[in-house]
Structure formats: structure tokens, C-alpha cells
Amino acid sequence: MRGRTRTRNIYLIPYMLWIVLFVIAPIVLIIYYSMFNIDGAWSLENYKRFFTPVYLSMTLRSFWYAGLITGFSLLIAYPTAYLLTKTEHKQLWLLLIILPSWINLLLKIYAFIGILGFYGPVNSFLDIIGVGTRQILFTDFSFIFVAVYIFIPYMILPIFNALEELNPSLVAAARDLGASSWATFRRVVFPLTFNGVKAGCRAVFIPALSLFMITRLIAGNRVITLGTAIEQHFLVTQDWGMGSTIAVFLIIAMGLTMILTETGKKVN
Amino acid sequence: MPEETIIRFENITKQYDNDPPVLTDVSFELERGKFYTLLGPSGCGKTTIIRLIAGFVQPTTGAIYFDEQEISNIPPDKRRVNTIFQDYALFPHLNVFENVAFGLRVKRMKPDMIKAKVREALRFVNLEGLENRGITGMSGGQQQRVAVARAIVNEPEVLLLDEPLSALDLKLRSEMQYELRELQKNLGITFVFVTHDQEEALALSDEVFVLNSGVIQQRGTPNDIYDEPVNKFVADFIGESNIIPGIMINDYLVEFVGNQFECVDQGFYPNEPAEIVIRPEDLEITGKDQGKLQVRVDSQLFRGVHYEICCYDKDGNEWLVHSTRKVTVGDEIGLDFGPEDIHVMRLGETEDEFDRRLESYEEVRHAG
């Protein structure tokens, strides 16, 4: 018995090493660096600075954009997932939806620069139908659009799984008891797949909080989020202390989101 | 009487894609306030019939009438029927009260009315005081009662029950059988009950429909179906039977296992081949060289209420006997039976032909 637990502990070693080196140590380092001001002196100045309007509005903006991205993803993903469960070749359709998420993020973003650019196919099309070419890249629209495109598979998957797990006789029972298809959706289908919705929102909202590649390349840094700010502090202003402080708040925000979207104990 | 008919199936066929049809040209009428049972092996189409009545599927051809109005294409939420599902299909995110109140809430009934009606429905199924309980922690029997309350609170004119007792253990099942029968009498509405358990069907129903491979084989009271099965399938499916080939020599005279016996059947051609049914409990054990048949006891099982004795005659035909008397395995015994214990079935006869033959000799009897 003891021998078996010992071998199990041996298996745990790589995992523990990984956790310590790549999760715990970085967090400790971030907290440590956040305690130094730009001159390398120990202080809590950075934390004070975070609560100035510049950083607070940046935080608010990050939440706002992450919220928009999550909201639009959900609006598109729920009906898509619902239709997917009704199609004949579910697994094939699901694969086609997941497929783009296997392609490198940067590649996809560069592709969008080409597509949405001033001389890209979208503008050519707008020109032909008489709307005229316009600035599409470097706008809020293009930022949200590309971000939603990138995140949508992560929203569809958990919702699809929740819909698949839903017992079809519950839907039949609701109809049988006099509920229209809309009432059935509102009173039975949505509440029973809400855990999937929460899991999807978590999978989209948390990474959306710290986006910086899309903000730079698609939104042309016109949208400054916490992710952008961290990158700028580390690479441009060399203010590692402030960058770390923002990262600390980002970690706290992620933790809070995790708690808020806690799926709780499973019903059914 | 037409005003008593509540549901009518007119030449219903149901077929999915290119598979063989689940139901083939099924027609019947259900009367108000009766307890009907659809009985058959799995895949016989019995569940499809109640799904058609509930509105979850539409007939491929034919029409369904409810109160003489065609409802074939009306969605389930607009039909005055409710269903009790095999897995109960209780909503796991709602408590007992909200489950029962579901149908009333979607009808936008006033909250105090809902409260009163739900209370009453729960009292009806002996679940008072459990309003705030969650569904998942409840026993099978309790869930069953919630499902019943949730259906009857809507005051349906027809209640459809899709094998609702199959998930319960034996003791609870027979308890619930009594309760369901009682419930149907108290409510006075039509029940359509689906089961593959023939004992359940015989015990509960006013009328039983025996189905096999998408066709109604026979319909009638439990007694009719048990005593006068129309064909081998029904005789075999309902209870246990000894089915032996024979020849109908003349009216009231049948030959099997090399002897001629007096019987009560008629309407056959002279010397027509037929199948003979004798129920195991109708065979009486007598001493050797007495009785009408001589058999040797092959095996014996104690079944509680009776012994199940398996015997063979000299031609190798198997005879199943139910008796409270114990015999010795290997012994030669005699079996006795009366003319009314023999039921003769015409080969390949449909239910309609059977009914017509029965009617024709009823007339003869009245004329004579």
C-alpha cells in the first residue's frame, strides 16, 4: 500500500516541478517586482499609481471590451451550438468550427490585416456595391470582430456539450405541459445549459482581459487595455514595477471572474 | 356512441426515412374515461402511438382525431393531453412545487390559484409537505408521484403513460399499479398506458391492445384476450400456453396428438388445419392411464403459488402444467381438461376475420 503511494508520488514530480517553476515562481516574481518603483527603490508607489484615473479608466476599458467580446461571442455561439446539436453530422461540423483554433493566432491576425486593410477584398467589395472604401482596420469594430472570431470556438464547445447532455425528454415534457418552443427554451433549455454558458464566458472573458496582440495589430493600439499596458511597461518604458503591478491586478480580476462564473455542483 | 369517442386513429402509418414502417395502417377509437393498455414487445410501435397522440411525432399517412377534430399536425403544447414519461422527465433545476406548477405557470395562471392547485395535486398523490424538496434526492416512487401530479394538475382529458412503472422494483410496482388504477377511477379521464408487462396490462385495463411489428394483433377486455387469443403471437405473449398443431374435424370436434376431442369452437371448414391452445392452469393432473393425455414428467419448478411442471407426451410435444399438486419427476401421469379449456385458432386469421367468424356463429346460435 505504502509502495503504491510512493510510486504515485514519483509520478507527481514532473507536475509539481512544472507548477512551481512556471506558475508559482512567476506569480511570486511578479508580486516581488511590483514592489519596486522605476528607480529600483522598494515602495508601494505603483499600487498608489494604479488607482489614478489613467489606470482605472484603462481597467474599465479592458473590462468593457472583454465584456463586449464575450457578449457577442455568446450571441453567435449559443444559436450555433444549438443548431449543431440538431444537425446530422455533428462531429464533422464541430471539427470545422474547432479547426481554425489550431492555426497560429498571429497568422490569423495577419490574414485579417490583409482582408480588412484599405486595399483588401472587403473594401474592394464595398467599393463595387457603391458604399465606397473606408477605414475598417484600426477601429473598435475590427477589434471586436477579430477577437470574437478568435474566441468563438471556446464559447461554442462548452455550450455544445451542455446542450448534448440535456435530456431530450425534458424538452418533450415542457412542450407536453403546454410550453411554446420559446417558453421551453427560456424555462428549461437555457437554465439547464447555463453552466455551459458560464464555462464559455469564463473561457472567453479571462483571456480577453489581457489581449494585446489584437489591440496592437488590428486596433492599431487605439484601444489600450491592461494587456497592452503591461507589454508597453515591460518593453517600451522599462518600468517593470508598474507592469508587474498591473499584472497583479489582472490576476486578481481573473480570480474574481473564476469565482463569479463558478459552475457550482452539477445538477442532473 | 360517437360522443363518447375521444381519440380516433384513422389508417395511421408511421415510417422513418426508408426504414420499415413502425406502424402500418392502424385504426382504432378510444372512449372517454376508460383505461387502455398498449401491450407488446419492444419495437412493436406502442410508444409511437402515444407519441402520436401527444404530438411529438406526426403520422406519415392517416389522420388523428381528438373530439372529432383533426389534430394530426397540431403541436404538443396545444393538445389537451399530458404524458408521464418513462424516465419521468422531471426538471432537475426546479423543486417539487415548481415542477408541478410548470404547466400552470406557462398558462400564466394567477399565483394564488397555482398555489391552491399544486397543493391539491400533491395531496392527490400523497406528497403533501414535500413542496420545497429537490428532485434529485427523491426515490423512484416519489419521482413517479411528482410526475403524476405534474400531469394531472393541468386537468388533461387524456393521460398518456409511457412504461411509467418499468424503473421501479417489483413491490413498489404492484403498489403503484393499484394507485394508478385508483387514480384513473377518481379522475374519470382516459388513460393510455404503455407496457411490455402482460400481467400489468391484464390487471389494470378496461381494454388491452396487443401489438406486434406495427400492427394491432388483438384488442379486447383482459378476459377476452386471455381466453380467446386470436393467434399464436397473442397466445404466447399473454400468459403461458401450450400451443399444438391440430385439425378441426367438424364444428365442436378437434383432433390433436392422435385423438379427437370435444370443443366449443366452430366456423371452420371440415378437416381444416388449426392451432390448439390450452392454458397450463387448465390442465388437471390425474393418475396414470386416467385423463385424456398420457405424459411423462420431465422437470418441476416451485413458483410459490403453484408448481410449474414440464411434461412430454409420446409424440414429443411439450406440455406445461400449472398445479398446486406436487408430482415426481420421471413419473407417468395423466392430464385432463374439459371442452371449454380448448381454444382453437385458425391459421393466419386476422382480428377482423376472427370477430366476423365469432359473430356469424353467435347469429347461428340465436337463429337455432
- Considering the entire predicted model, what is its pTM? 0.83
Residues B59, B70: Cα–Cα separation, whole Å = 12
Q: What is the mean pLDDT of residues B209-238?
A: 92
Instruction: Please name the residue of chain B whose CA is at the shortest distance from the CA of residue A182.
Output: B106
The whole-chain average pLDDT of chain B stands at 91
Q: What is the ipTM, given to two decimal places?
A: 0.83
The string of pLDDT tens digits covering residues B50-88 is 999 999 999 999 999 999 999 999 999 999 999 999 999
Of the residues B52, B56, B102, B152, the best mutation for testing chain A's interface (the one with the most A CB atoms within 10 Å of its CB) is B102
**Contact indicator for B347, B307 with CB cutoff of 8 Å:** no
Position B351 pLDDT exceeds 80:
yes
**What is the model's pLDDT at position A142?**
92
Which of B83, B105, B136 comes nearest A176 by C-beta?
B83
* C-alpha distance from A202 to closest chain B C-alpha (Å): 22
Q: Mark residue B52 as left, alpha or beta (left: phi above 0; alpha: psi -120 to 50; beta: remaining).
A: alpha
Long-range contacts from B305-308, C-beta under 8 angstroms, 24+ separation: B306/B281, B308/B280
- Domains along the sequence of chain B with CATH: 2-227 (3.40.50.300), 241-367 (no CATH)
* C-alpha distance from A172 to closest chain B C-alpha (Å): 7
The CATH 1.10.3720.10 portion of chain A extends over 45-260
Which of B56, B86, B107 comes nearest A178 by C-beta?
B107
Which of B87, B93, B106 comes nearest A192 by C-beta?
B93
CA distances in angstroms from B38 to B21, B73, B192, listed in the order given: 18, 23, 7
**What is the model's pLDDT at position B151?**
95
| Contact B28/A at CB under 8 A | no
Under the banding of pLDDT at 50, 70 and 90, the label for residue B168 is confident
Q: What is the mean pLDDT of residues A74-100?
A: 93
Position B2 pLDDT exceeds 80:
no
Instruction: Please name the residue of chain A whose CA is at the shortest distance from the CA of residue B158.
Output: A176
* C-alpha distance from B189 to closest chain A C-alpha (Å): 17
Pick A267 or B31 by higher pLDDT.
B31
Tell me the chain B residues in contact with residue A191 when contact means C-beta distances shorter than 8 Å: 93
- Residue % of chain B over a pLDDT of 70: 97
Which of B89, B93, B107 comes nearest A173 by C-beta?
B89
* C-alpha distance from B16 to closest chain A C-alpha (Å): 15
Q: What is the mean pLDDT of residues B212-225?
A: 93
Q: Do B56 and A167 touch (CB under 8 A)?
A: no
* C-alpha distance from B51 to closest chain A C-alpha (Å): 10
Q: Do B154 and A178 touch (CB under 8 A)?
A: yes
Residues B128, A129: Cα–Cα separation, whole Å = 69
Tell me the chain A residues in contact with residue B117 when contact means C-beta distances shorter than 8 Å: none
Q: Mark residue B112 as left, alpha or beta (left: phi above 0; alpha: psi -120 to 50; beta: remaining).
A: alpha
Architecture of the structural domain at A45-260: Orthogonal Bundle (1.10)
Q: Do A183 and B56 touch (CB under 8 A)?
A: no
Q: Do B89 and A167 touch (CB under 8 A)?
A: yes
Query: DSSP letters along B90-133, please?
Result: --TTS-HHHHHHHHHHHTT--HHHHHHHHHHHHHHTT-TT-TT-
